[in-house]
Amino acid sequence: MTTRTTFLGLGAMGSALVRAVLDSGRPAVVWNRTPQRAQALGERGAAVAGTVKEALAGGGVIVACLFDHQSVHDVLDPVAAGLSGRTLINLTTTTPNDARELAAWAADHGVDYLDGGIMAVPQMIGGPGSAILYSGSTAAFDEHRTLLELWGEATYFGTDAGMASLYDLAMLSSMYVMFAGFMHGAAMVGSEGVSAKEFADRATPFLTAMTGSFAETAAIIDAKDYTGEGQQSLEFSDLGDIMRASIDQGVSLEVLKPVHDLIRRQIDTGFGEQGFARIFEELRSTA
């Protein structure tokens, strides 16, 4: 018989995780601070618990998908004494060090801890393209692999509980900066009456082609060779023209200026003839 899964937190993502489990025919117990959010899942077959203690009674793996790191403590600290021997899969977005702190907390209470970073929106859970990154307990990952793969492709990054979060937030940083750059461009042409849709139609194939060069750029960074043939120089990459055009079109420089400043500092330090990828060294120097 398949053991039940207890879900703590029923926001958009938590509810999507529960639906995937229920659709597979597995039993689920759900709890949420706002009880109304559990009603629809109860109608789909989930057992709805009125309290955290009630939700955790009876064993089984625990899945937390809460608001933040502190909320995990707020929910589980009061019941920690009864969690020994259980497995906690934490899918709450946290920093790497927050994940490591929770792993240490779990170990102190006899809990097997697996941290996860969800690389999907709720509508994608259980469908094509959904992926979740995991780190922490190898035993927990192996034992519950079938459950994890109900939600999406499951990839394990080792016993350091913070690694899944690190990869998660690193990829999200790339996404947010890329989208901000797209919005800056849309604002530039929008100043002349061009719709964001029209700009997207033209920008998408170009940006898609540019992401195809990530592997080449990564090889340059790993080799720390910014003088190789074919690299676009920092001097050529100077964003001055884009900055001036943005000002002329009445568009804020808040997105562009940090990148402009990174490039200018490298040029001013004497690296202007080296490749654009060299700004990586300046980013790392602040770590």
Tell whether 118 and 200 lie within a shared domain: no
Per the structure, how many domains does the chain have? 2
Of the residues 114, 133, 159, the one at which a domain ends: 159
In this structure, the number of other CB atoms found within 10 A of the CB of residue 174 comes to 12
Tell whether 203 and 259 lie within a shared domain: yes
47 pLDDT exceeds 80? yes
Q: pLDDT exceeding 90 applies to what percent of the chain?
A: 97
pLDDT, tens digit, 9 for 90 and up, residues 155-206: 999 999 999 999 999 999 999 999 999 999 999 999 999 999 999 999 999 9
pLDDT, tens digit, 9 for 90 and up, residues 236-245: 999 999 999 9
Q: pLDDT exceeding 70 applies to what percent of the chain?
A: 98
Tell whether 243 and 102 lie within a shared domain: no
For residue 11 the two structure tokens come to: 């926001």
Give the domain extent around 107: 5-159
User: Can you give the pTM of this predicted structure?
Assistant: 0.94
User: Mind giving me the DSSP string for 98-123?
Assistant: HHHHHHHHHHHTT-EEEEEEEES-GG
287 pLDDT exceeds 60? no
Tell whether 131 and 36 lie within a shared domain: yes
Tell whether 106 and 223 lie within a shared domain: no
Tell whether 32 and 121 lie within a shared domain: yes
Tell whether 136 and 202 lie within a shared domain: no
The predicted structure's pLDDT at residue 172: 97
Tell whether 9 and 137 lie within a shared domain: yes
268 pLDDT exceeds 80? yes
Mean pLDDT of all residues belonging to the chain: 97
Of the residues 110, 138, 159, the one at which a domain ends: 159
Tell whether 128 and 244 lie within a shared domain: no
Residue 199 neighbours by CB under 8 Å, 6+ apart: 185, 186, 189, 190
Tell whether 115 and 204 lie within a shared domain: no
1 pLDDT exceeds 70? no
Tell whether 178 and 64 lie within a shared domain: no
CATH number for 242:
1.10.1040.10
The residue type of 113 is Y
Of the residues 107, 142, 159, the one at which a domain ends: 159
With cut-offs at 50, 70 and 90, classify the pLDDT of residue 3: confident
With cut-offs at 50, 70 and 90, classify the pLDDT of residue 286: low
Strand order in the sheet with 47-48: 47-48, 28-31, 5-8, 61-64, 87-90, 112-119, 131-136, 153-156
* pLDDT, average across residues 263-269: 96
| β-sheet bridge partners, residue 62 | 6, 88
The predicted structure's pLDDT at residue 58: 86
CATH number for 146:
3.40.50.720
Tell whether 176 and 281 lie within a shared domain: yes
